[in-house]
């Protein structure tokens, strides 16, 4: 806890430098603005609200639950042409096709997932699974991700996520496919299934758990309060979850996100995303080395206004963190599971 050391990340086959003593250093750098607390519930000028007009002129329906629509500014399109041959191996290009969708979690702009009911969160999970199955029928990779808060690049306060399906395996997916396949080959058990069992037994990095799921600050965490959400049984894809597992997932997500908000009593920013076995042509292959999981990457370090910057050494050498995963987990674990805004009421 007091001396620097490096930790190995078997999921990415890389290392992180842990320098816990550095968290004591004074901070005279940039201070972030806390997220606004006065977001209007409905705004006709907000393109994600029910009944609002989006940039392409389409009018949203008066939706009352989740709402999915094609991204008006997609990073991937299904009919992109093949790139030309550069004539040299140092200038390679490959086709990149796909579709991008946006999913609103709720019709109200002033709600976030931790403040939604369990039934509303369960509806989000069901919509995620439906999209993963629908797009995964033809595309090899379906990336569900949420950027929450302006600090994480979110340009709209309305509760929503994005779903990008691609004709290729992105870098992180390819890497996790390789490391998990190698671990199963060498040890005879899926990596993250074995890891979840170890963390459930050791408990020092455990944040929350229930009968079907556990959340830990991973041993190799890079971001200060990074967490990993894992199922207890072997499951490859989000759409494979049973009814009861979806209910318990809604519960553990709510508990985790309430703790996040309670940490600095602010709507906690993060980027999160689901990783599961590839789809499309991979549906016909044995993907038993995969274990479904979700990554949460929050940037805040010391307070609602001081964040962790991935610059300098992190960009040029390797990742580095200023408090141990065990310290982060203990702090999150000790936080109440009643949201600070609801407690105030």
Please list the active-site residues: 160
- Residue 153 among known ligand-binding residues: yes
- Residue 318 among known ligand-binding residues: no
- Residue 72 among known ligand-binding residues: yes
**Angle separating helix axes 171-187 and 191-202, nearest 10 degrees:** 80
- Residue 46 among known ligand-binding residues: no
- Residue 162 among known ligand-binding residues: yes
- Residue 176 among known ligand-binding residues: yes
Q: Are 74 and 100 in contact (CB under 8 A)?
A: yes
Instruction: Count other C-beta atoms under 10 Å from residue 4's C-beta.
Output: 11
- Residue 233 among known ligand-binding residues: no
- Residue 309 among known ligand-binding residues: yes
- Residue 217 among known ligand-binding residues: no
- Residue 264 among known ligand-binding residues: no
- Residue 293 among known ligand-binding residues: yes
Report the length, in residues, of the chain.
345
Largest CA distance in the chain: 66
Instruction: Count other C-beta atoms under 10 Å from residue 320's C-beta.
Output: 19
- In this structure, what DSSP letter does residue 94 have? -
| Closest to 225 in 3D by CA, of 337, 328, 114, 331 | 328
- Residue 23 among known ligand-binding residues: yes
| Closest to 192 in 3D by CA, of 176, 175, 168 | 176
**Burial code of 152-189, b = ≥16 C-beta within 10 A, e = fewer?**
bebeebbbbbbbbbbbbbeeebeebbebbbebbeeeee
Q: Which residues are annotated as a binding site?
A: 22-25, 55, 71-72, 147, 153-155, 162, 176, 275, 293, 295, 308-309, 313-314, 320
Q: Which residues are annotated as a binding site for Fe cation?
A: 176, 275, 293, 295
Q: Which residues are annotated as a binding site for UDP-alpha-D-glucose?
A: 22-25, 55, 71-72, 147, 153-155, 162, 308-309, 313-314, 320
């Amino acid at each position: 806890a007091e001396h620097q050391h490096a930790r190995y990340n078997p999921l990415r086959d890389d290392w992180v430098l842990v320098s816990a003593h550095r968290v004591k250093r004074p901070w005279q750098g940039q201070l972030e603005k806390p997220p606004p607390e006065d977001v209007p519930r409905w705004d006709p000028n907000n393109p994600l609200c029910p009944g609002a007009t989006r940039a392409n002129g389409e009018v949203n329906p008066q939706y009352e639950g989740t709402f999915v629509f094609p991204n008006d500014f997609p990073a991937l399109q299904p009919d992109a042409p093949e790139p030309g041959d550069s004539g040299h191996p140092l200038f390679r290009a490959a086709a990149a096709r796909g579709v991008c969708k946006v999913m609103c979690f709720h019709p109200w702009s002033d709600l976030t997932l931790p403040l939604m009911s369990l039934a509303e969160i369960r509806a989000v999970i069901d919509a995620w699974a439906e999209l993963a199955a629908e797009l995964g029928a033809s595309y090899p990779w379906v990336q569900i991700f949420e950027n929450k808060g302006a600090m994480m690049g979110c340009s709209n306060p309305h509760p929503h996520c994005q779903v990008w399906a691609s004709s290729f395996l992105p870098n992180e997916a390819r890497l996790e496919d390789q490391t998990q396949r190698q671990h199963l080959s060498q040890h005879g058990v899926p990596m993250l299934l074995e890891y979840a069992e170890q963390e459930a037994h050791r408990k020092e990095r455990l944040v929350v758990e229930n009968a079907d799921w556990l959340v830990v600050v991973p041993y190799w965490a890079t971001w200060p309060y990074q967490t990993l959400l894992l199922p207890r049984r072997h499951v490859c894809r989000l759409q494979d979850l049973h009814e009861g597992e979806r209910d318990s997932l809604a519960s553990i997500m709510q508990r985790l996100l309430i703790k996040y908000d309670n940490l600095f009593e602010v709507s906690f920013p993060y980027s999160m995303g689901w990783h599961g076995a590839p789809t499309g042509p991979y549906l016909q292959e044995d993907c038993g080395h995969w274990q479904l999981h979700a990554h949460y990457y929050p940037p805040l370090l010391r307070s609602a206004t001081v964040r962790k910057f991935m610059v300098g050494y992190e960009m040029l050498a390797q990742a580095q963190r200023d408090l141990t995963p065990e310290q982060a987990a203990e702090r999150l674990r000790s936080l109440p599971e009643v949201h600070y805004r609801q407690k105030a009421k």
